[in-house]
Amino acid sequence: MTNRAFNFNAGPAALPLEVLQQAQQEFIDYAGAGMSIMEMSHRSGIFEEVNDGAQSLLRELFGIPSHYKVLFLQGGASTQFAMIPMNLLGAGQTAAFVNTGSWADKAIKEAKLFGETAVVASSEADKFNRIPDVSNLQIPTNSAYLHITSNETIEGTQYAAYPETGDVTLIGDMSSDILSRPVDVSKFGMIYAGAQKNLGPSGVTIVIAREDLISESPKSIATMLRYDTHVKNNSLYNTPPSFSIYLVGLMLKWVKERGGVAAMEQFNRDKTKLIYDTIDNSGGFYRGFADVNSRSLMNITFRLGSEELEKQFVKESEQQGFVGLKGHRSVGGLRASTYNAVPLESCKALADFMGDFQKRNG
């Protein structure tokens, strides 16, 4: 028997039990090598298979066109906030952004260190409770790219449709919703994501980018911060986070066995409906933070009538085996993160708990 919590952590987050069990089984002796993945050379044939296998499964599941590169990097999505302008923002160019909240804002602040930025849409005036209208963006003509955050992890908002950017390269931070729904990758010049929400454990950052964008970086950039270093070396320029990459591979296999990315989207819709319906049918006892049209399938943010009641909700939920329901310290309230690996049972249990809590406190 395993005693698993109802894990709604925002990241690092729940991993599928099946994935953990397989990792456990293979932990001490991987593929008869007489050692674990962590103990073997990243130049060994076995690890190369793990590395290439994870890459090709990601290509298959996410429908990544052949003229795109897949890189496994380190430093988290936060390092991409800097690497992108360092590599792609030329002299005299502008980095354009849609400001949707906490993470978009961090990406903007970092880009400012390297050149001109322009915010072409923002929902700041509404406390970032929605994705702003991106149907008719005025993107400066000298823009190197437009950067969006496809899911705002803290506010709990997600794009229903991505902007059309014409000739301007679209870059997406998909840290908190990669592989949770099908995406037309060809609309993007680059997509990046820290793995620790939908793809596996922390320690590896996935970059998917059109080859022409990243095959030649400006010569002044440090070796590790140049995309071309990692392109030329198949992400094996230096020692990679090998155990994290291995677990990403297991996670991808798990997604494939469950029907792929479209099946994940349906699964995530079913899970989140249980909780959003509970909020909507609570007569105002629970109040969703995000505008209905911008609601996220990954992070459900909501509030109660007072901070006291919210504290009590968190305390009682913890007593009943729920983890991670306290909202991010910057916005308060409550948040349930429902990434791919979160089971339907956890969401059912949460909806039941919410109903019960309302009965006792409503």
Q: Which of 22, 36, 78, 93 binds ligand PMP (CB under 6 A)?
A: 78
| 295, 315 Cβ separation under 8 angstroms | no
Residue 123 CA to residue 133 CA, distance in Å, equals 9
Q: How many residues bind ligand PMP (CB under 6 A)?
A: 11
Q: Is 9 in the site for ligand PMP (CB under 6 A)?
A: no
Stretch that binds ligand PMP, among 64-72, 74-82, 305-313, 315-323 (CB under 6 A): 74-82
Catalytic residue among 105, 173, 254, 271: 173
Q: Which residue is catalytic, options 69, 103, 177, 271?
A: 103
Minimum distance, C-beta of residue 202 to ligand PMP, in the bound complex (Å): 7
**Residue 194 β-bridge partners:** 205
Of 30, 47, 62, 103, the residue at the interface with ligand PMP (CB under 6 A) is 103
Tell me if residue 160 falls in helix, strand or coil. coil
Interaction between residue 77 and ligand PMP (CB under 6 A)? yes
Q: How far is the CB of 84 from ligand PMP (least distance, A)?
A: 12
Q: Which stretch binds ligand PMP (CB under 6 A): 57-65, 159-167, 172-180, 209-217?
A: 172-180
Cα 137 to Cα 121: distance, rounded to the nearest angstrom: 7
Active-site residue, 254 included: no
CA-to-CA distance for 212 and 315, rounded, in angstroms?
51
Question: Active site residue: 69, 105, 177, 197, which one?
Answer: 197
CB 153 within 8 A of CB 298: yes
Stretch of residues binding ligand PMP (CB under 6 A), selected from 169-177, 237-245, 313-321, 351-359: 169-177
CB within 8 A of 169, min separation 6: which ones? 88, 144, 145, 146, 189, 190, 210, 213
> d(Cα 139, Cα 317) in Å, to the nearest integer?
45
Rounded to an integer, what distance in angstroms lies between the CA atom of residue 321 and that of residue 319?
A: 6
How does strand 116-122 pair with strand 143-149? unpaired
CB of 196 to ligand PMP, least distance (A): 6
Whole-number minimum distance, CB 151 to ligand PMP, in Å? 6
Q: What are the catalytic residues?
A: 103, 173, 197
